Structure 1
Amino acid sequence: MKFKQAYSRDEPPGGGASLQELISPDNEVRFIDAFVDSLPLEKLGFRTDFPENGRPAYHPSILLKLLVYGYLNRIRSSRCLERECGRNLEVMWLLGQLAPDHNTIANFRKNNSKAITRVFRATVKMAQHFDLIGGELLAGDSTKLRAQNSKKNNYNRGKIARHLTYIEERLSDLQQALAQTNQVEPLLDAMARHALRREHYLRLLRYLEDSGEDQVSTSDAESRQLIIRNTITEVAYNVQATVDARHCLLLDYRVTNHNDRLAMGGMLRRAKSIVRNHSFTALFDKGYYAGSELETAQGLGITALVAVPAPASNAPDPAYNVEHFAYDHTSDTYTCPEGHTLTTNGHVYTKHLSRAHPTSFHQYRTKACKTCAVRHHCTTARNGKLIERNTYTPVFEQNRRNIAAQPDLYKRRQAIVEHPFGTLKRQWGYSYVLTKQGMERASADVGLMLMAYNLRRIFNIVGLERLLAYYAASLSVLWTLKAMFGACWRGYSQRIKIPSSSAIYLQITIFNQETGRGF
């Protein structure tokens, strides 16, 4: 039986073909090259000026191309990317056979968090150019990405107290043993070790008291132990993201280390500036159900549909839950399903659910509860039914009306917002943050993940041919301007560098204004 014969190891790969010939015209690496070359890197915040002495630096476009390629192909480790530079023909073509070392790659990523965020925004602008962003229906949610910090190295006051109690008990036992034996040296060594551990925990406790924080992580200081699901917790970062419904493209993200409750307002403000309107509908789950955030949404003119959590205290019969009590704004009273009127004594009470957002409320009662025949269906409280109406109750009621007006719309939330999270965490394996030492570095890693997701979606929907034509047209416009205006272009081109096509026309306008020319 005949077999295919291997080439000799002395022959160059591809039968002596160049890298340009080896990389096929429809290879997506050409899209990465065109995308990064189109970015105004200096304006985005990447450093392009380096001192002449010492080894020449790598241009930021080289390192950004490598990271974009890596994240698109599920390669995040700087050491793995370093190896790819010497064995991967696509990377050799993309970088012009340059091979940055792993420290250079890692330092570039950790030092350019804000610039990477701006590159992510460039993917959103590209999607808008191809009409991939509807801007009519958005969904917001968060996902927890595990930090480089174990639960063992995360402490709260209770955990520290248990460690200190254990150490005191061990020291007491060692003191008693010391009085009963002549072999004191091992015991003194053990006591010294426990004393050092006690001092470590006391330093952590002082930090919590001075900072006002609830917990501290010793490996990645800004990571926090967060609830992942039900009672399952993990030391992680919480990534807030907003997704457009048309093609499940990400519009915005922010890396945090706290829960969702007070995040919706900021997400909607940024979404409004991105889609340039406030007439869209936003879908959020019950983790975002907070009066201050719903008030912000309604103040922005945005229709927000936020899932309503189950009441903290249900009536024995659900027909007598608070939502079935009718409120009259004119008389400031509630009417129960049995027709009794609940009134307030006018006193304002305050709850401090959080230090930043204390809540004021009135209480409503009725004496009819004492003789009501169906009281056992309505409440088990000794003093009868009590309703609390706080300053945010009107916005809660408006949210309920929004959901009632579009009962099927909220069901689309998971299909929209879980699409990128499922792709990133389950399909690509990006379930943890690779970087350490702070939220800013974590944001760089997350930004590259989400940028890769958007680029993959855009590439799959639009296609390589249209994308390359788009970048070629952008280059053509600028080179035409350069040919037409000659020397005037030099000063201008130092400040402008080929962004999206919508920005091209803006640049042309600015150039015309600066030179006094027109078409």
Structure 2
Amino acid sequence: MSHFKPCDRHQLYLLPPSIDEWLPENHLSRFIIEVIEQLVLTRLTSHYSGKGSEAYHPSMMLALLVYGYATGTFSSRKIERATHDSVAFRFLAANQHPDHDTIANFRKTFLLELQELFVQVLSIAQEMKLFKLGNISLDGIKIKANASKHKALSHGHIEKLEAQLREEVQFLLNKAEQTDEQESEHDFDLPAEIVRREQRLEALAAAKAKIAERVQARDQQAQKDYEEKIARREAQQKAGKKPRGREPKVPETGPCAQDQINLTDEQSRIMPSGDGFIQGYNSQAAVDIESMLIIATGLTTETNDKQRVEPMLEALSKLENQFGKADTLLADNGYFSQNNVKACAEHGITPLIALGRDTHHLPIAQRLQPDAPKPQTDDPLVMMTYQLKTQSGRELYGRRKCTVEPVFGIIKQVLGFRQFLMRGIRAVAGEWKLVAMAYNFKRMYAMATG
């Protein structure tokens, strides 16, 4: 006869059960609590007036969010449900159950305060000897917005819709004049249909105005580039040289037919991605090569990465007092420009930005040949070109791909973060900071316990 262990789901406990005993000692949630207890949360606690009913403590709410994002539970409703179903979430919430509205409101309210907390977490990592600022790898990833690309309207399509709606309004007005009030059809409310179309026309006009406002920055940059090209050609002519290329054309200003706006999240953009095109944001991250911790983040609606170097350098300069100056900035060819190379040199950071597509698997003779003599020049571009060809430069740049791209892979595959929940660039930038903080917690936990 077989012998089985008893399975009594209604077995009573002799003493009250403790959630602390149910959770393994070396658990991620315990590590998150230990780190959060060291944070200064004054900017969070000062938001509470002390009036009304008692509020959940910000440290507990922050722990729920960080653990949720670190384990792929992003929705406030799922986090609320997990405080009932998951031992780890119960432990973090101290057996309390904040509702999803409270969780969502906390996340929305304190997204801007995450910048300071993000830096505090890095300080703790430094105190734990887990990270020392050195060589930085910069890259970007396109992440979906909380909006469908099918809700996007182009400027040209808006104009076609406006023409169609105006024709329909005029038709309905004529129909209303011809129809006697006493003989009007009850199944078709002409005044309501006219009002509905006029409201749509107002919404389309507002969308066109926002598109026109958005393209002003593009027009200013195009005009600036045009003036620089003209000035360069004039300088060449004065020097007795024949300018190369065609005469620059005066840039066309104003919205074009392809300029788009999304009706759900108007600040998001349609961007190229590995799967085609997505409605999303260009999320940037600077990753420390040795620790693989995210040091700084950025967010933009531009698909081109060339404009992202200087903002990231400014973000790194704000960390110098606490962590020192970064040594080298590694980036792919999408970040290359002479101005970016010069900006790195001005910040005292050595740039290693690819000048073009890399050649993989160089011949053994080329890999082992000695470095060329160092050029005697102060030109940062010439120096960077030389360093990229040296053995040490190739070895260091080769670590770029195996540093920042795995971080993005972990965020998407392990954490499961593939779409923002917030809308609007300010809120999305805060959520991206929260994602980076959750990743750093998980990475610090792996280094501390590995």
TM normalised by structure 1 equals 0.65
Q: Which aligned pairs between 1:118-267 and structure 2 lie closer than 5 A? A: 118-167=116-165, 186=188, 188=190, 193-210=196-213, 212=215, 215-229=260-274, 232-259=276-303, 260-267=305-312
1:403 equivalent in alignment to 2:401: no
How far apart are 1:36 and its partner, in Å?
1.2
Contact 2:70 2:415 in 1 (8 A): no
Which protein shows a greater Rg? 1
**1:219 alignment partner AA:** T
Structure 1 residues 160 and 286, CA gap change in structure 2 (3 angstroms): farther
Given the alignment, which residue of 386, 407, 419 partners 1:432?
Answer: 419
Contact 1:243 1:250 in 2 (8 A): yes
CA distance in 2, matches of 1:132, 1:18: 33
Structure 1, residues 489-510: CA drift from partner, whole Å, max 9, x if none? xxxxxxxxxxxxxxxxxxxxxx
CA distance in 1, matches of 2:339, 2:24: 54
Structure 1, residues 202-261: CA drift from partner, whole Å, max 9, x if none? 22112333454654332223222223249x322212211100111211111122222322
CA distance in 2, matches of 1:309, 1:40: 45
In structure 2, what is the equivalent of residue 452 of structure 1? 438
Contact 1:178 1:187 in 2 (8 A): no
Q: Which aligned pairs between 1:10-409 and structure 2 lie closer than 5 A? A: 11-12=12-13, 16-42=16-42, 45-48=43-46, 50-167=48-165, 186=188, 188=190, 193-210=196-213, 212=215, 215-229=260-274, 232-259=276-303, 260-274=305-319, 276-278=323-325, 280-309=327-356, 396-405=381-390, 406-409=393-396
In structure 2, what is the equivalent of residue 442 of structure 1? 428
Structure 1, residues 130-160: CA drift from partner, whole Å, max 9, x if none? 3333433211011122111111323342332
**2:151 alignment partner AA:** N
Contact 2:118 2:433 in 1 (8 A): yes
SS in structure 2 opposite 1:40?
A: coil
How far apart are 1:74 and its partner, in Å?
1.4
How far apart are 1:23 and its partner, in Å?
2.6
Structure 1 residues 171 and 308, CA gap change in structure 2 (3 angstroms): farther
1:6 equivalent in alignment to 2:7: yes
Contact 1:111 1:441 in 2 (8 A): no
SS in structure 1 opposite 2:306?
A: coil
Structure 1 residues 18 and 190, CA gap change in structure 2 (3 angstroms): closer
Structure 1 residues 404 and 161, CA gap change in structure 2 (3 angstroms): farther
Given the alignment, which residue of 414, 423, 446 partners 2:410?
Answer: 423
How far apart are 1:70 and its partner, in Å?
1.4
SS in structure 1 opposite 2:116?
A: helix
How far apart are 1:97 and its partner, in Å?
1.7
Structure 1, residues 42-89: CA drift from partner, whole Å, max 9, x if none? 0xx213463444211111111111112212221111111111222323
CA distance in 2, matches of 1:248, 1:164: 51
How far apart are 1:273 and its partner, in Å?
4.5
Structure 1 residues 412 and 159, CA gap change in structure 2 (3 angstroms): farther
Contact 1:148 1:435 in 2 (8 A): yes
**2:315 alignment partner AA:** R
Structure 1, residues 391-448: CA drift from partner, whole Å, max 9, x if none? xxx6544443332232343232111111110001122210111122x22222332222
In structure 2, what is the equivalent of residue 352 of structure 1? none
Structure 1, residues 422-478: CA drift from partner, whole Å, max 9, x if none? 001122210111122x222223322221111111111111129xxxxxxxxxxxxxx
Structure 1 residues 197 and 81, CA gap change in structure 2 (3 angstroms): same
Q: Which one scores higher on RCO, CA 8 angstroms, separation ≥ 6? A: 2
Structure 1 residues 3 and 15, CA gap change in structure 2 (3 angstroms): farther
Contact 2:70 2:439 in 1 (8 A): yes
Identity within the alignment, %: 27
Contact 1:265 1:294 in 2 (8 A): no
CA distance in 1, matches of 2:356, 2:201: 43
CA distance in 1, matches of 2:106, 2:335: 35
SS in structure 1 opposite 2:44?
A: coil
Structure 1 residues 403 and 167, CA gap change in structure 2 (3 angstroms): farther
Structure 1 residues 184 and 286, CA gap change in structure 2 (3 angstroms): farther
TM normalised by structure 2 equals 0.74
CA distance in 1, matches of 2:395, 2:161: 51
Contact 1:132 1:246 in 2 (8 A): no
Coordinate RMSD, CA, aligned? 3.2
CA distance in 2, matches of 1:10, 1:18: 15
SS in structure 2 opposite 1:237?
A: strand
How far apart are 1:279 and its partner, in Å?
6.1
SS in structure 2 opposite 1:283?
A: strand
Greater CA drift, 157-166 or 270-279: 270-279
